[in-house]
């Protein structure tokens, strides 16, 4: 069994924030793969279904970002899961919008949601880093992640969450390379050249919320 966790902040105020792209991605997974409706449990919202032949649970913590680990830890204990069974989908400042990377473990990059999870279950969970781009200035990071995607960015965001949902069965089988290749193909199909009016800057800054 896999526990797929989307990170974000609950409530309509934050719904379209860059920080909530993890919620957007798991919502599309639930829709695309005909999971059950969400229900309140484990200090969050949970849905269950399958990714091909793999049993899956989708969790959206309702604890706000910096306490996400409490919800995840509670669900893990109930289902007797190991950290390696957990896949966390979260926003990543150090990747350009439209880019995705899959990995196990690694640094926290100043991300308070990841820090909370590591405190509750350790660092060895799987991560889907979903690029939102960096504003280019450390002082602007807080406002950047808590602001909505622009209209010009939403076309990329839609293809991105579609690609993640489409490719998730590949990751459920342990094929991270095929997962990332499939997402890239959906985001940038042949002969497609997306143009963003407001481009974000991809830097190596290690700041997050």
Residues 6 or more apart whose Cβ sits within 8 Å of residue 140: none
Whether residue 118 lies inside any domain: the answer is: yes
Whether residue 177 lies inside any domain: the answer is: yes
Whether residue 200 lies inside any domain: the answer is: no
The whole-model pTM stands at 0.88
CB-neighbour burial class of residue 3 (10 A; exposed 0-12, middle 13-18, buried 19+) = buried
pLDDT of residue 50: 96
Tell which residue, 142, 161, 164, 141, has the closest CA to residue 153. 161
Whether residue 145 lies inside any domain: the answer is: yes
Q: Total structural domains in the chain?
A: 1
Q: Report in angstroms the alpha-carbon separations of 76 from 81, 86, 88, 117.
A: 5, 8, 13, 11
Residue span of the structural domain in which 168 resides: 2-187
Strands 126-131, 86-92: pairing is parallel
| Residue of 19, 33, 120, 134 marked catalytic | 19
Whether residue 71 lies inside any domain: the answer is: yes
Whether residue 7 lies inside any domain: the answer is: yes
Does residue 19 have an active-site annotation? yes
Whether residue 77 lies inside any domain: the answer is: yes
Q: What is the CATH number of the domain that holds 167?
A: 3.40.50.1470
Q: What is the pLDDT along the chain (209 residues), one digit of tens a residue?
A: 999 999 999 999 999 999 999 999 999 999 999 999 999 999 999 999 999 889 999 999 999 999 999 999 999 999 999 999 999 999 999 999 999 999 887 776 678 899 999 999 999 999 999 999 999 888 899 999 999 999 999 999 999 999 999 999 999 999 999 999 999 999 988 876 555 444 444 444 444 45
Whether residue 199 lies inside any domain: the answer is: no
């Amino acid at each position: 069994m896999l526990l797929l966790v989307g990170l974000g902040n609950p409530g309509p105020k934050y719904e379209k924030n860059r920080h909530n792209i993890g919620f957007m991605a798991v919502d599309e997974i639930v829709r695309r793969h005909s999971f059950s409706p969400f229900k309140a449990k484990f200090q969050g919202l949970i849905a269950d279904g399958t990714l091909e032949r793999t049993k899956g649970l989708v969790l959206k913590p309702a604890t706000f970002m910096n306490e996400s680990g409490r919800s995840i830890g509670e669900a893990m204990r109930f289902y007797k899961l190991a950290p390696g069974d957990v896949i966390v989908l979260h926003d990543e400042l150090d990747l350009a919008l439209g880019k995705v990377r899959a990995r196990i473990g690694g640094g926290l990059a100043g991300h308070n949601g990841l820090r909370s999870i590591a405190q509750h279950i350790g660092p060895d969970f799987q991560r889907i880093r979903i690029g939102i781009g960096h504003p280019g200035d450390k002082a602007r990071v807080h406002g950047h992640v808590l602001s909505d995607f622009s209209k010009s960015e939403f076309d990329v965001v839609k293809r991105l969450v579609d690609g993640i949902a489409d490719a998730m069965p590949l990751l459920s089988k342990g094929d991270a390379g095929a997962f990332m290749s499939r997402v890239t193909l959906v985001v940038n199909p042949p002969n497609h050249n997306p143009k963003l009016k407001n481009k974000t800057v991809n830097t190596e800054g290690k700041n997050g919320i």
